[in-house]
Amino acid sequence: MKWMCAPRALTPKLLSSVVGAALIVVATPVAAQSEARIQRLEQQISALQRAVFPGGDERFFEPEITPEVRRTGQPASPQVTTSALTDVLARLEAMETQLARLTAATEVNENALSAIDRRLNALEGSGSAPSGSFATPAPTPVSTPAPTGTIPVPDERAQLPAPPPQPTQSSPSAARVAAVEAIVKPVTGDGAEDEYTYGFRLWDAGFYPEAQQQLALYLEQHRGHRLNSRARNLLGRAFLDAGEPRAAATHFFENFQGDAQGDRAPDSLLYLSESMIALGDTRRACIALAEFGDTYPALAVGRLQGMYEGLSGRVDCN
């Protein structure tokens, strides 16, 4: 019979050794599993980043961490980056767009200048100015009230026979001389304006030959004065009211042609049409009316509307 030995009591030192060995055995597979899980998580996070932040080149990735909320609490806008090639292409496209706009604007300006050139050449007529010139011809000085026999009208020059020589007039009667002398010539200190005003007063009183001479004298002595446009127009009216539409038409067109922006250039164009109507030349009357409507559209519905519509109703321009 073998002797049975009673189990030895576990001392504290022996107990700690046993527990430590057991922990080592258990901890080894747990640590290995944790490391594997960490690696899998890292791979999944990298794959997720590639899906959320795709890049053109696999060597480059967006930052793995970007701020989602600003300090103000508003969502932060995504950071957009472009390559150097993208920047160059964008600038080239902008330059091409600007160049196309400049080219279109240049073509519009060239077409407008060509239209103005053609219109001026038509108005100036052959020989008045070189082809392609934009210079406005200087107004023809009025030295005598006699007509020239050539009446240029818009778009062409109409050669009309000169009127027959006027018979020599007898000396005015004493009564007429006295009536003319009763027209007071103003003295304001502005000699040029006084000469014009005196011519206007003679015309307004119905002394048309005397008004013709006075206005022609004013235009000869005071070229470039601010009232020249009014004087040339009034000189034409003095001939028209005296029953001489041929001479009147010459002065009306010279006033329009010499300075289309003058005070009475629009009036002269309408009176030119009236002179052509008096001569029975409907075609040229219509040309003058059309030119007035094109050049002075505001006056056609403004200050000169009544005269324009009245003349248009007297001729058939269709």
* C-alpha to C-alpha distances, 79 to 47, 53, 70, 71, 107, nearest whole angstrom: 21, 11, 13, 17, 43
CB 311 within 8 A of CB 300: no
Condensed to tens digits (0 to 9), the pLDDT of residues 57-92 reads 444 445 544 544 445 555 554 444 556 567 667 666
160: burial class by Cβ within 10 Å (0-12, 13-18, 19+)?
middle
Count Cβ neighbours within 10 Å for each residue of 83-121 and write b for 16 or more, e otherwise: eeeeeeeeeeeeeeeeeeeeeeeeeeeeeeeeeeeeebb
Partners of 152 in the β-ladder: 157
Condensed to tens digits (0 to 9), the pLDDT of residues 241-294 reads 999 999 999 999 999 999 999 999 999 999 999 999 999 999 999 999 999 999
What radius of gyration, in Å, describes the C-alpha atoms of the chain? 50
pLDDT given at position 171: 76
pLDDT band at residue 205, thresholds of 50, 70 and 90?
very high
Provide the strand spans (E) within the chain. Answer: 150-153, 156-159
pLDDT given at position 111: 73
pLDDT given at position 248: 97
Is the pLDDT at 134 greater than 60, yes or no? no
CB 142 within 8 A of CB 219: yes
pLDDT given at position 220: 95
Joined together, the tokens standing for residue 65 give 């961490």
Q: Which of 296, 300, 295, 297 is nearest to 311 (CA)?
A: 300
Is the pLDDT at 198 greater than 80, yes or no? yes
Joined together, the tokens standing for residue 279 give 């001569």
Average pLDDT of the chain is: 73
Q: Give the DSSP letter of residue 64.
A: S
Joined together, the tokens standing for residue 96 give 């091409």
Other beta carbons within 10 angstroms of residue 217's beta carbon come to: 16
pLDDT band at residue 37, thresholds of 50, 70 and 90?
low
Helix (H, G, I), strand (E, B) or coil at 194: helix
pLDDT band at residue 109, thresholds of 50, 70 and 90?
low
Q: Which of 163, 160, 210 is nearest to 182 (CA)?
A: 210
pLDDT band at residue 55, thresholds of 50, 70 and 90?
low
